[in-house]
Amino acid sequence: MVVETRFFRSDVHTVNGLSAYQLKNVNSTVLTSVSSTYQWWGIRVFIRHSDGSEEEVTTGTPVAVVLVTVPGWYNASWNCPSKSLNPTDAIVVRLYSAAVSAGPWVLAREWISEQLNASRLDSSMWKVYYNFDVVERVIDGTVVLYLFRHGSPTYNSRIEDFAYTPYVPIVLTRVYGNGLACAVG
Protein backbone atom coordinates (compact mmCIF):
# COMPACT_ATOMS: atom_id res chain seq x y z
CA MET A 1 0.00 0.00 0.00
CA VAL A 2 1.18 3.51 -0.86
CA VAL A 3 0.16 6.39 1.44
CA GLU A 4 0.70 9.88 0.03
CA THR A 5 -0.09 13.54 0.39
CA ARG A 6 -1.89 14.76 -2.73
CA PHE A 7 -1.76 18.49 -3.50
CA PHE A 8 -4.39 20.66 -5.15
CA ARG A 9 -2.03 21.98 -7.82
CA SER A 10 -2.47 25.13 -9.93
CA ASP A 11 -1.64 23.56 -13.31
CA VAL A 12 -3.97 21.61 -15.61
CA HIS A 13 -3.64 18.29 -17.40
CA THR A 14 -6.00 15.92 -19.24
CA VAL A 15 -6.50 12.36 -18.00
CA ASN A 16 -9.11 9.88 -19.23
CA GLY A 17 -10.76 12.67 -21.25
CA LEU A 18 -11.09 15.17 -18.37
CA SER A 19 -9.14 18.44 -18.36
CA ALA A 20 -8.77 19.57 -14.76
CA TYR A 21 -6.22 20.81 -12.27
CA GLN A 22 -3.60 18.24 -11.27
CA LEU A 23 -3.94 16.22 -8.07
CA LYS A 24 -0.38 15.00 -7.52
CA ASN A 25 2.03 14.04 -4.76
CA VAL A 26 4.31 17.00 -5.60
CA ASN A 27 2.92 20.53 -5.36
CA SER A 28 3.11 23.25 -8.01
CA THR A 29 4.71 26.63 -7.29
CA VAL A 30 2.17 29.20 -8.50
CA LEU A 31 -0.69 30.34 -6.28
CA THR A 32 -4.18 30.36 -7.72
CA SER A 33 -7.61 30.65 -6.15
CA VAL A 34 -11.30 30.25 -6.77
CA SER A 35 -13.92 32.42 -5.07
CA SER A 36 -17.50 32.08 -3.93
CA THR A 37 -19.94 34.14 -1.89
CA TYR A 38 -20.76 30.92 -0.02
CA GLN A 39 -18.92 29.98 3.16
CA TRP A 40 -19.51 26.20 3.38
CA TRP A 41 -16.96 24.11 1.44
CA GLY A 42 -16.39 20.40 0.88
CA ILE A 43 -15.30 17.77 -1.64
CA ARG A 44 -16.75 14.86 -3.56
CA VAL A 45 -14.55 12.03 -4.86
CA PHE A 46 -14.89 9.98 -8.05
CA ILE A 47 -13.08 7.19 -9.89
CA ARG A 48 -12.67 8.14 -13.56
CA HIS A 49 -12.22 5.24 -15.95
CA SER A 50 -10.25 5.32 -19.20
CA ASP A 51 -13.51 5.47 -21.21
CA GLY A 52 -14.50 8.71 -19.40
CA SER A 53 -17.19 7.12 -17.23
CA GLU A 54 -17.17 7.85 -13.51
CA GLU A 55 -18.11 6.09 -10.29
CA GLU A 56 -18.62 8.21 -7.18
CA VAL A 57 -16.72 7.16 -4.06
CA THR A 58 -18.55 9.64 -1.84
CA THR A 59 -22.32 9.32 -1.41
CA GLY A 60 -23.65 12.19 -3.51
CA THR A 61 -22.95 15.09 -1.15
CA PRO A 62 -19.69 16.77 -0.11
CA VAL A 63 -17.56 15.36 2.69
CA ALA A 64 -14.71 16.88 4.75
CA VAL A 65 -16.95 19.96 5.02
CA VAL A 66 -15.73 23.20 6.61
CA LEU A 67 -17.44 26.48 7.51
CA VAL A 68 -15.21 29.43 6.62
CA THR A 69 -15.50 32.45 8.92
CA VAL A 70 -12.04 34.08 8.91
CA PRO A 71 -8.93 33.84 6.69
CA GLY A 72 -6.59 30.94 7.34
CA TRP A 73 -6.30 27.16 7.44
CA TYR A 74 -9.20 24.76 7.87
CA ASN A 75 -9.16 20.98 7.92
CA ALA A 76 -11.66 18.16 8.04
CA SER A 77 -11.47 14.38 7.76
CA TRP A 78 -13.28 11.81 5.66
CA ASN A 79 -13.10 8.03 5.91
CA CYS A 80 -12.36 6.94 2.33
CA PRO A 81 -13.75 3.44 1.69
CA SER A 82 -11.86 0.70 -0.13
CA LYS A 83 -12.68 0.53 -3.85
CA SER A 84 -11.36 -1.68 -6.66
CA LEU A 85 -9.48 0.13 -9.42
CA ASN A 86 -8.30 -0.65 -12.92
CA PRO A 87 -4.66 0.32 -13.62
CA THR A 88 -5.84 3.08 -15.99
CA ASP A 89 -8.24 4.67 -13.46
CA ALA A 90 -7.69 8.17 -12.06
CA ILE A 91 -9.15 9.87 -9.00
CA VAL A 92 -11.19 13.06 -9.41
CA VAL A 93 -11.74 15.43 -6.48
CA ARG A 94 -14.37 18.13 -6.94
CA LEU A 95 -14.62 21.15 -4.62
CA TYR A 96 -18.07 22.57 -3.85
CA SER A 97 -19.40 25.55 -1.92
CA ALA A 98 -22.83 26.27 -0.45
CA ALA A 99 -24.66 29.01 1.44
CA VAL A 100 -25.87 26.53 4.09
CA SER A 101 -24.55 23.14 5.15
CA ALA A 102 -27.53 21.34 3.61
CA GLY A 103 -26.80 22.81 0.16
CA PRO A 104 -27.57 23.20 -2.64
CA TRP A 105 -23.87 22.71 -3.44
CA VAL A 106 -22.21 24.51 -6.36
CA LEU A 107 -19.13 23.15 -8.15
CA ALA A 108 -16.15 25.47 -7.66
CA ARG A 109 -13.17 23.54 -9.06
CA GLU A 110 -11.98 20.05 -9.96
CA TRP A 111 -8.71 18.10 -9.86
CA ILE A 112 -7.69 14.77 -11.37
CA SER A 113 -4.77 12.48 -10.56
CA GLU A 114 -2.67 10.73 -13.14
CA GLN A 115 -3.68 7.17 -14.08
CA LEU A 116 -2.73 5.57 -10.76
CA ASN A 117 -1.64 2.14 -12.05
CA ALA A 118 -3.37 0.79 -8.94
CA SER A 119 -5.60 -2.17 -8.16
CA ARG A 120 -7.33 -0.61 -5.15
CA LEU A 121 -8.13 2.70 -3.51
CA ASP A 122 -7.47 1.69 0.09
CA SER A 123 -9.59 2.53 3.09
CA SER A 124 -7.97 5.40 4.99
CA MET A 125 -8.88 8.52 6.92
CA TRP A 126 -8.23 11.41 4.54
CA LYS A 127 -7.35 14.69 6.19
CA VAL A 128 -8.19 17.57 3.86
CA TYR A 129 -6.44 20.92 4.39
CA TYR A 130 -8.03 24.04 2.90
CA ASN A 131 -6.61 27.57 2.88
CA PHE A 132 -8.99 30.53 2.56
CA ASP A 133 -8.87 34.27 2.31
CA VAL A 134 -11.94 36.34 3.10
CA VAL A 135 -12.41 39.54 1.10
CA GLU A 136 -15.11 42.18 1.51
CA ARG A 137 -16.20 44.15 -1.53
CA VAL A 138 -18.66 46.99 -1.26
CA ILE A 139 -20.98 47.39 -4.23
CA ASP A 140 -24.45 48.48 -3.14
CA GLY A 141 -23.80 46.84 0.22
CA THR A 142 -21.17 44.48 1.53
CA VAL A 143 -20.45 41.31 -0.39
CA VAL A 144 -18.10 38.83 1.19
CA LEU A 145 -15.99 36.60 -1.06
CA TYR A 146 -14.39 33.41 0.21
CA LEU A 147 -11.25 32.52 -1.77
CA PHE A 148 -9.95 28.97 -1.70
CA ARG A 149 -6.19 29.24 -2.28
CA HIS A 150 -4.02 26.41 -3.62
CA GLY A 151 -0.99 25.46 -5.67
CA SER A 152 1.95 27.15 -3.94
CA PRO A 153 4.38 26.20 -1.14
CA THR A 154 2.72 28.72 1.20
CA TYR A 155 -0.86 27.87 0.26
CA ASN A 156 -0.43 24.11 -0.12
CA SER A 157 -4.03 22.96 0.21
CA ARG A 158 -3.93 19.18 0.15
CA ILE A 159 -5.21 15.72 1.06
CA GLU A 160 -3.12 13.70 3.52
CA ASP A 161 -3.28 9.88 3.87
CA PHE A 162 -4.39 9.25 0.28
CA ALA A 163 -3.83 5.47 0.12
CA TYR A 164 -3.82 2.96 -2.74
CA THR A 165 -2.38 -0.43 -3.66
CA PRO A 166 -0.18 -0.42 -6.78
CA TYR A 167 -1.16 -2.80 -9.57
CA VAL A 168 1.06 -5.86 -9.81
CA PRO A 169 0.51 -7.93 -12.96
CA ILE A 170 0.07 -11.63 -12.39
CA VAL A 171 2.87 -13.63 -13.99
CA LEU A 172 2.19 -17.30 -14.52
CA THR A 173 5.13 -19.66 -14.76
CA ARG A 174 4.94 -22.84 -16.74
CA VAL A 175 7.42 -25.56 -15.90
CA TYR A 176 8.21 -28.00 -18.65
CA GLY A 177 9.12 -31.65 -18.15
CA ASN A 178 12.82 -30.91 -18.61
CA GLY A 179 12.78 -28.41 -15.68
CA LEU A 180 12.82 -25.26 -17.82
CA ALA A 181 10.47 -22.48 -16.73
CA CYS A 182 8.80 -19.91 -18.96
CA ALA A 183 6.94 -16.82 -17.73
CA VAL A 184 3.54 -16.37 -19.35
CA GLY A 185 1.30 -13.30 -19.20
| Residue 105, pLDDT score | 98
Instruction: In whole angstroms, give the CA distance from residue 54 to residue 68.
Output: 30
The per-residue pLDDT string of the chain (185 residues; one tens digit each, 9 = 90 and over) reads 999 999 999 999 999 999 999 999 999 999 999 999 999 999 999 999 999 999 999 999 999 999 999 999 999 999 999 999 999 999 999 999 999 998 899 999 999 999 999 999 999 999 999 999 999 876 666 778 999 999 999 999 999 999 999 999 876 666 666 655 555 55
**What is the torsional sign of CA 131, 92, 107, 56?**
negative
pLDDT digits (tens, 9 = 90+) for 50-64: 999 999 999 999 999
Q: For all residues of the chain together, what is the average pLDDT?
A: 93
Give the other-Cβ count within 10 Å of 110's Cβ.
19
Q: Give yes or no for a contact between 36 and 98, defined as CB atoms under 8 angstroms apart.
A: no
